[in-house]
Chains A and B, each alone.
Chain A
């Protein structure tokens, strides 16, 4: 599969703060790529450069093998749900969608139908004519996503699309993204929630301090950096942790010894990968 998006040695600083520091990666057409990193890792800056909102100090963004986002025709391929909500509070949900639909040439009955379709898709059809100002955080996030989807972009850039939402909105957002990805849309999904990255992404790029630490499928990352599974046992009220390549063999031996009160095997996850790569946990930062 050819790369729909290629980042070539991207650099970007704000004054003396280096936000993105030599980032290179490729996203295949139809792929869902996660950008996983703590706050301040440079995810939003990276997405801003992909969308053409920020100019890289060095390096290049190439979309569809054609060129950068400076070209309005190439920007047309992009849909963006910014991390900071980008909605007119004093307009209704429908008016927000209608405005951006018009800016993407979706007018008349076709435009109206598309707007209605998305209102239903994000579960806002019953509140379509209420002002956004009256919406909950979750509803705003869903609308923010809907606006990005209006013109059926080929490359969807989602910057922390579930920040600050209730669990219900979170699952509905994640479900919607999976549906869209299933339809062949290429997605770049930035998050600092490893569960989300694990659930949604074909591959995950781990970033910290503006650098790409590794990029691969979740399984391969865990294999490479996650370390051994941890066998946790409680015996006589005391917990023992044992890192092992073969928890089943170890467990058999422990059972033979007898007296076990509780047993648990922790498979390493992206958290462990991040810890191994940075020496910190995602939750800490």
Chain B
């Protein structure tokens, strides 16, 4: 029979056995989830502070009354934004870098003048410096800024302000330059749209604008304050975004720590149940049947490894997906996360084979293997997250494959590690996988030949 079919049939059998083993199933999937939830709540992740208030640092380069009013409105009650004034641009950007703020908003010079007299000055100019990993919040913020700007205009035009009077006058007199007339009519259109509450379309426009700006930046890599909107129409607000890479100082919330911890326990349980099930094939005699079936001997181990691998992947995907959906985590490096999951699954397949190879009996896999694994998991990030360990302890934890899985998963989850930065943990995980597999197979061979 084709080996692939055999491997599949056997792997399905192993997954079915896991599903029927309530205890193993609980410890592989249920317990990690409970750990993630419990540790997350205990360490204060239960609140949704990160959701309610976006911390924004603001640098008011203009220093005018309208700009101050704008800032007050931005951080106003119920806005969901908490503003913190910065004394200069550097301080403002630094706040993003150190994660005190998710973004720095700069009100450029001339902001006040522009907001009082749109057609006289240029558009209102805003600079946004934001960590690229905070894409969702960034979108939210630029949306808000745009809406606010339009609202400001609306209030100016609806009130008996100088600007409104002048604008009416210009239009009424009818001898204004055609360009200005057209700009004004554009402006009125925008305002009308705003009044109709057609925000969906507005947002679409905002997004388009953002994209345009982003493209520009990708080109020259620097904030370009003088960029005039290319559309012929008058644009009352220009938001320029630029990237500030935030330093990885800490996780966004407690669940970003507790879910990787839960994964560690799930991986441990996965290793335990599959190494025990591999040993059980020997003790319950089914290995004998598999060995006399016309299979390549490697197919038996390949199937067990495949089932173990899939379970490890499933566990990680479920845990991360749960954290993302329920606790609003963002995977800062999704591709790296996929690679990290695959590497840690491979590592623990190797560890599984190693333990199965070294244990004489099912009890051995359950007993000695269990205690060693437990220790490795405890000190490999299962209880104390690696990033808060004292350096000596973290160094000692390096013998634990769990540590490297923690580092890789955390790195991809909230530290925004690149593949290059993850190379060490991923390499070590692969080494555990390959090494464990080889030693385990050699041990089994020796026993089989005995």
Shortest C-beta distance, B356 to chain A (Å), equals: 17
> What is the 8 Å Cβ interface bit string for chain B, positions 1-27, against chain A (1 contact, 0 not)?
100011001100100110011000000
CB atoms of B288 and A53 under 8 A apart: yes
CB-CB < 8 A to A99: which residues of B?
9-10, 13
B449 within 8 A of A: yes
CB atoms of B449 and A53 under 8 A apart: no
On whether A86 and B288 interact (CB within 8 A), knowing A72-B295, A76-B294, A100-B293, the answer reads yes
B292 within 8 A of A: yes
A75–B449 Cα distance when bound, in Å, is 18
CB atoms of A103 and B293 under 8 A apart: yes
Shortest C-beta distance, A54 to chain B (Å), equals: 9
Shortest C-beta distance, B1 to chain A (Å), equals: 4
**Binding site secondary structure of chain A:** loop
Interface centre among A53, A90, A103 (most CB of B within 10 A): A103
CB-CB < 8 A to A85: which residues of B?
284-285
Interface centre among A73, A89, A147 (most CB of B within 10 A): A89
CB atoms of B17 and A75 under 8 A apart: no
CB-CB < 8 A to A87: which residues of B?
284-286
CB atoms of A80 and B284 under 8 A apart: no
CB-CB < 8 A to A88: which residues of B?
13, 17, 284, 286
A53, A84, A89, A91: the one contacting B291 at CB < 8 Å is: A53
On whether A86 and B294 interact (CB within 8 A), knowing A55-B449, A104-B1, the answer reads no
On whether A104 and B284 interact (CB within 8 A), knowing A91-B16, A91-B17, the answer reads no
B290 within 8 A of A: yes
A51 within 8 A of B: yes
On whether A86 and B286 interact (CB within 8 A), knowing A75-B294, A103-B293, A104-B293, the answer reads yes
CB atoms of B17 and A90 under 8 A apart: yes
A266 within 8 A of B: no
Interface centre among B1, B284, B294 (most CB of A within 10 A): B294
Closest residue of A by beta carbon distance from B2:
A105
Interface size on B, residues (CB 8 A): 24
Shortest C-beta distance, B196 to chain A (Å), equals: 64
> What is the 8 Å Cβ interface bit string for chain B, positions 248-292, against chain A (1 contact, 0 not)?
000000000000000000000000000000000000111111111
CB atoms of B285 and A82 under 8 A apart: yes
Closest residue of B by beta carbon distance from A106:
B1
A256–B290 Cα distance when bound, in Å, is 67
CB atoms of B289 and A100 under 8 A apart: yes
CB atoms of A102 and B6 under 8 A apart: yes
CB-CB < 8 A to A55: which residues of B?
449
CB atoms of A80 and B292 under 8 A apart: yes
On whether A104 and B289 interact (CB within 8 A), knowing A55-B449, A86-B284, the answer reads no
CB atoms of B1 and A75 under 8 A apart: no
Closest residue of B by beta carbon distance from A83:
B285
Closest residue of B by beta carbon distance from A55:
B449
On whether A75 and B13 interact (CB within 8 A), knowing A88-B286, A90-B20, A103-B6, the answer reads no
On whether A147 and B289 interact (CB within 8 A), knowing A90-B17, A103-B9, the answer reads yes
Shortest C-beta distance, B116 to chain A (Å), equals: 78
CB atoms of A104 and B294 under 8 A apart: yes
A87–B21 Cα distance when bound, in Å, is 16
CB atoms of B290 and A103 under 8 A apart: yes
A124–B5 Cα distance when bound, in Å, is 27
Shortest C-beta distance, A266 to chain B (Å), equals: 40
Shortest C-beta distance, B311 to chain A (Å), equals: 16
A52 within 8 A of B: yes
On whether A80 and B288 interact (CB within 8 A), knowing A75-B293, A103-B9, the answer reads yes
A254–B71 Cα distance when bound, in Å, is 130
- A87-119 interface with B by 8 A CB criterion: 87-91, 95, 99-100, 102-105
CB atoms of B288 and A72 under 8 A apart: no
A61 within 8 A of B: no
Closest residue of B by beta carbon distance from A86:
B285
CB atoms of B16 and A95 under 8 A apart: yes
A104–B289 Cα distance when bound, in Å, is 11
B6, B9, B10, B289: the one contacting A86 at CB < 8 Å is: B289
A114–B328 Cα distance when bound, in Å, is 53
CB-CB < 8 A to B290: which residues of A?
103
CB atoms of A91 and B13 under 8 A apart: yes
Shortest C-beta distance, A155 to chain B (Å), equals: 11
A131–B17 Cα distance when bound, in Å, is 11
A78 within 8 A of B: yes
CB atoms of A90 and B21 under 8 A apart: yes
Q: Return 10 A-B CB contacts under 8 Å, by A number.
A: A51-B292, A53-B291, A72-B295, A78-B292, A80-B289, A84-B288, A91-B16, A102-B6, A102-B9, A103-B6
Known: A86-B289, A90-B21. 7 other contacts (CB 8 A): A86-B286, A88-B284, A91-B16, A91-B17, A99-B10, A103-B6, A131-B20
Interface pairs A-B: 8 shortest CB-CB = A86-B285, A72-B294, A103-B293, A102-B9, A84-B285, A105-B1, A90-B20, A86-B289
